[in-house]
Structure 1
Amino acid sequence: MKALLGSHLLSKTGLIGSQILDSQPLILLYFSASWCPPCRQFTPTLIDFYNKVNTPKKQAEVVLIPADRTEEDFIDYYEKMPWLSVPFANASVKQLLGEKYKVQTIPTLVLTDKDGNALNTNCRWEVVQKGVEALKGWEELVAKTKTK
């Protein structure tokens, strides 16, 4: 994932090495922006999901891929989120990821394997429809890819 996301991610405590994702069971990339009404509607649902699946132990990490127009808008939006983010200034990474995962609309939530291969590009709807139960299906999907 480091090759795709760059060497650093933004956390609530500042920049950290993206190798932190190496130890995460599930990695979800969240393409979103503060100016997008569907994003603003889905983000609280994703925050609730994230908090539930990571209590009492970490089971999934979300990485925001921001599509905000200004850094100020990004900062205000990201402030509400408990997960990691690609730094706003890293425009080349954001563009590369959007192209790699064929993101046509936002919000988009993509489950990837450790190498950045897309395993499920429909995770947003699964979070909305299944809630924390979506996690079981994703874990099975990741387990299948490890045995191939």
Structure 2
Amino acid sequence: MSELLAGVTLKNREGADLDAGEYLKGKVVGLYFSAMWCPPCRAFTPKLKRFFEEIQKTHPEFEVVFVSRDREADSLVEYFTEHMGAWTYIPFGNEKIQELLKQYEVKTIPSMRIIKPNGDVVVQDARTEIVDKGADPENLWEEWLAFYE
């Protein structure tokens, strides 16, 4: 992911700009495609947040990047700030959002992919895996890592 997003600026919870190539180096990255206007997204986001917080306790190398399908910058920031975890997002209007949607064939949201640094998909449907197996975060993490390496 660090290679795929090299040169892209991410934002964190504090609103700071982060160079994605540097920030994501050495991390296992989940791309989270979602939007505030999407009811299924709003139902899944708290589950992802809990899962993320549990994994972060023992695996700080896990990072989520929110790829918004919101129609306005204010909606993206509000949704991120009020509902999401301590991860990062690609700012509204960045052309990389459309590239990622196309590259990963995201037709519906919410959707989540676990990606290698070069952009290869490790887990195609991480959303369903978190919903179905997320009650045991450590076990699911180990399953993902088995495919990651």
- Normalised to the residue count of structure 2, the TM-score between the two structures is 0.89
Q: Secondary structure at the match of 1:75?
A: helix
Partner of 2:87: 83
Query: Is contact 1:39-1:107 (8 Å) kept?
Result: yes
- Structure 2 gap ranges (5+): none
Cα deviation for residue 4 of structure 1 reads 3.7
Q: Secondary structure at the match of 1:23?
A: coil
- Normalised to the residue count of structure 1, the TM-score between the two structures is 0.89
Q: How many residues align structurally? A: 141
Counterpart AA for 2:10: L
Greater share of residues in helix? 1
Partner of 1:146: none
Query: Is contact 2:4-2:119 (8 Å) kept?
Result: yes
Query: Is contact 1:53-1:59 (8 Å) kept?
Result: no
Cα deviation for residue 124 of structure 1 reads 0.4
- Structure 1 gap ranges (5+): 144-148
Once structures 1 and 2 are overlaid, which stretch shifts more, 105-114 or 5-14?
5-14
In 2, distance between residues paired with 1:103 and 1:3? 20
Counterpart AA for 2:114: L
- Map 1:108-147 to 2 at 5 A: 108-131=111-134, 132=137, 133-143=139-149
Report the aligned-residue RMSD.
1.4
Residue of 23, 35, 38 corresponding to 1:20: 23
Partner of 1:58: 60
- 1:11 equivalenced with 2:17 (yes/no): no
Query: Is contact 1:4-1:93 (8 Å) kept?
Result: no
Counterpart AA for 2:109: I
Over the matched positions of the two proteins, sequence identity in percent amounts to 33
